[in-house]
């Protein structure tokens, strides 16, 4: 305790030390466990990155095979959990369906952290990782009125994810290697980002010793907001709005700069990056590759490039160090892969999951962890006396 520091949005307050992710916002550097993001997206794969984040080191071949096999073994969800999805309204947004289903996992796996058990925590981490693609796809299929596709455990986590989202019950699913590569790369790029809003939420909820499912469900809800993960679908909606209007990119930018209420250049700006977001640089390249191959959506990519060009040459954005962030180009790729706009933030959640798990485990094992309990500056009434309701 002692002197309370006023720091809205925790812009300058570290709530924890962490050995997982390093960001240098001025230099545009992002590293997981010391490995630069550029190298991981080029040479590694998502499953390996999950292992790296959670266990701290790249796996040996044997460790990789065992981890991969465990992830394949736990893909199914309980049939009763599946029935949750019939209860949601037909037009429900997939994000709250996903967070509800994750919360519901804690009714099937009743981890109790007052009985601290490393094996239980590890099994729950695997269950969470393995079931997330199944749950995410169920939300997607529900929102489109399509039948649920069961996972095929001859496929790995990323391949399976595409199958359960896009397969048909009676047909073998043909994997598109470019789609697998793009999905894998996008998941790697989202896998962790130190103490962002959703991750801090996971840690805060977990600091009360809520279990992993409860903590991560809270993180998914934080991610849903348009200033956080929800920005990826907001970007696409913004591009659609500009294309549908007669006014074009320049006029939209004027509205942004005039700070018209609710009008921001979505997918721009970041609390920590004051230079180009290294994730956006990689994603921009992938967007070109995917859109070239599918031949569609060029109009939107061109518009996005134009908005970026205008912004990077404009004093408003330069003075405030606003650059494209991870969400600026991802939506174009997700759309080209066939995902509906509502699913974009769920894709972010699937990618961020290993980071949440790694951070939750680091938090629970850190002897310095105390229950998260921010202070406040009280600005209310001084002491006063109660008046009876008849006298007010």
* Catalytic residue annotation: 270, 327
The nearer residue to ligand CMC, 206 or 269, going by C-beta atoms, is 269
Nearest residue (beta carbon) to ligand CMC: 269
Stretch that binds ligand CMC, among 40-48, 181-189, 319-327, 331-339 (CB under 6 A): 319-327
Size, binding site for ligand CMC by CB under 6 A: 20
Which range touches ligand CMC (CB under 6 A), out of 125-133, 207-215, 239-247, 317-325? 317-325
Q: Which two tokens stand for residue 372?
A: 């998260």
Under the binding rule (CB under 6 A), the answer on residue 192 touching ligand CMC is: no
228 CB burial (10 A radius; 0-12, 13-18, 19+): middle
Least distance CB 58 / ligand CMC (angstroms): 26
Select from 132, 138, 303, 326 the one that contacts ligand CMC (CB under 6 A): 326
Which one, 245 or 258, has the nearer CB to ligand CMC? 258
How far apart are alpha carbons 32 and 279 in whole angstroms?
13
Distance of CA 32 to CAs 122, 185, 294, Å?
20, 14, 31
The count of C-alpha atoms lying within 13 angstroms of the C-alpha of 179, restricted to the half-sphere facing its C-beta, is 19
Is 318 an interacting residue with respect to ligand CMC (CB under 6 A)? no
Q: Which of 322, 337, 346, 364 binds ligand CMC (CB under 6 A)?
A: 322
Q: Pick between residue 327 and residue 362 the one whose CB is nearest to ligand CMC.
A: 327
Binding of ligand CMC at residue 256 (CB under 6 A)?
yes
Given 3-state DSSP classes, what are the helix, strand and coil percentages for the chain, each rounded to the nearest 5? 60, 5, 40
Yes or no: say if 22 and 29 are a contact pair by the CB < 8 Å rule.
Answer: yes
Does residue 349 interact with ligand CMC by CB under 6 A? no
Of the candidate spans 23-31, 36-44, 141-149, 325-333, the one that interacts with ligand CMC by CB under 6 A turns out to be 325-333
267 touches ligand CMC (CB under 6 A): yes
How many CB atoms within 10 Å of residue 99? 23
Q: Which of residues 71-110 bind ligand CMC (CB under 6 A)?
A: none
Piece of the chain touching ligand CMC by CB under 6 A; list 132-140, 199-207, 223-231, 371-379: 223-231
**Nearest distance from C-beta of residue 234 to ligand CMC, angstroms:** 7
Residue 106 CA, chain-centre distance (Å), reads 20
Q: Cβ neighbours of residue 324 under 8 Å, at least 6 residues apart?
A: 267, 268, 276, 277, 280, 284, 308
CB 383 within 8 A of CB 220: no
Chain-centroid distance of CA 221 in Å reads 10
SS3 letters across 109-136: CCCCCCCCCHHHHHHHHHHHHHHHHHHH
CB of 80 to ligand CMC, least distance (A): 33
Q: Is 264 in the site for ligand CMC (CB under 6 A)?
A: yes
End-to-end, the C-alpha distance of the chain in Å comes to 39
Q: Which is nearer to ligand CMC, 18 or 124 (CB)?
A: 18
Longest dimension (CA), the chain: 77
Q: Does residue 327 touch ligand CMC according to CB under 6 A? A: yes
Q: Minimal distance in Å, beta carbon 36 to ligand CMC?
A: 19
Q: Name the residue nearer to ligand CMC (CB basis): 73 or 259.
A: 259
How far is it, in rounded angstroms, from Cα 150 to Cα 228? 31
231 binds ligand CMC (CB under 6 A): yes
Q: Which stretch binds ligand CMC (CB under 6 A): 16-24, 64-72, 136-144, 269-277?
A: 269-277
**227: contact with ligand CMC by CB under 6 A:** yes
Phi, psi of 35 (to 5 degrees): -90, 125
**Residue length of the chain:** 392
Closest approach of Cβ 39 to ligand CMC, in Å? 21
For the beta carbon of residue 368, count every other beta carbon within 10 angstroms: 7
Residue 229 interacts with ligand CMC (CB under 6 A)? yes
Which DSSP string do the residues of 7-30 spell out, in sequence order?
Answer: -GGGTT------SSEEEETTTTEE
Stretch that binds ligand CMC, among 104-112, 163-171, 240-248, 318-326 (CB under 6 A): 318-326
Query: Could you list the residues that contact ligand CMC (CB under 6 A)?
Result: 9, 196, 227-229, 231, 256, 264-271, 320, 322, 325-327
């Amino acid at each position: 305790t002692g002197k309370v520091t006023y720091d809205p949005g925790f812009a300058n307050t570290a709530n924890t030390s962490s050995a997982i992710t390093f960001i240098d916002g001025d230099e545009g550097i992002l590293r997981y466990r010391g490995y630069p993001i550029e190298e991981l997206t080029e040479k590694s794969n998502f499953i390996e990155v999950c292992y790296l984040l959670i266990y701290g080191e790249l796996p040996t071949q044997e460790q990789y095979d065992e981890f991969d096999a465990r992830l394949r073994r736990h893909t199914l969800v309980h049939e009763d959990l599946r029935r949750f999805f019939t209860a949601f309204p037909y037009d429900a947004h997939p994000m709250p369906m996903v967070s509800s289903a994750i919360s519901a996992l804690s009714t099937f796996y009743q981890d109790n952290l007052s009985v601290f058990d490393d094996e239980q925590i590890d099994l729950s981490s695997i269950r969470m990782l393995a079931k997330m693609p199944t749950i995410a796809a169920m939300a997607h299929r529900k929102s489109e009125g399509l039948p649920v596709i069961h996972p095929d455990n001859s496929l790995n986590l990323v391949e399976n994810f595409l199958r359960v989202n896009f397969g048909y019950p009676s047909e073998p699913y043909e994997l598109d290697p470019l789609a697998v590569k793009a999905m894998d790369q996008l998941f790697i790029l989202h896998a962790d980002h130190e103490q962002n809003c959703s991750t801090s939420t996971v840690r805060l909820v977990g600091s009360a010793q809520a279990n992993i499912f409860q903590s991560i469900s809270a993180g998914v809800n934080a991610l849903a907001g348009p200033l956080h993960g929800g920005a990826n679908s907001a970007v696409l909606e913004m591009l659609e709005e500009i294309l549908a209007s007669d006014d074009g990119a320049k006029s939209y930018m004027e509205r942004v700069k005039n700070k018209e209420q609710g009008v921001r250049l979505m997918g721009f700006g970041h609390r920590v990056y004051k230079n180009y977001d290294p994730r956006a640089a990689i994603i921009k390249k992938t967007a070109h590759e995917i859109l070239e191959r599918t031949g569609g959506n060029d109009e939107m990519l061109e518009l996005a490039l134009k908005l970026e060009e205008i912004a990077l040459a404009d004093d408003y954005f330069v003075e405030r160090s606003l650059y494209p962030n991870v969400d600026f180009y991802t939506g174009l790729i997700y759309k080209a892969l066939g995902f509906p706009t509502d699913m974009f933030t769920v894709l972010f959640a699937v990618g961020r999951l290993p980071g949440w798990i790694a951070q939750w485990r680091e938090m629970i094992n850190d002897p310095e962890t105390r229950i998260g309990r921010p202070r406040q500056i009280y600005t209310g009434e001084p002491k006063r006396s109660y008046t009876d309701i008849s006298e007010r």
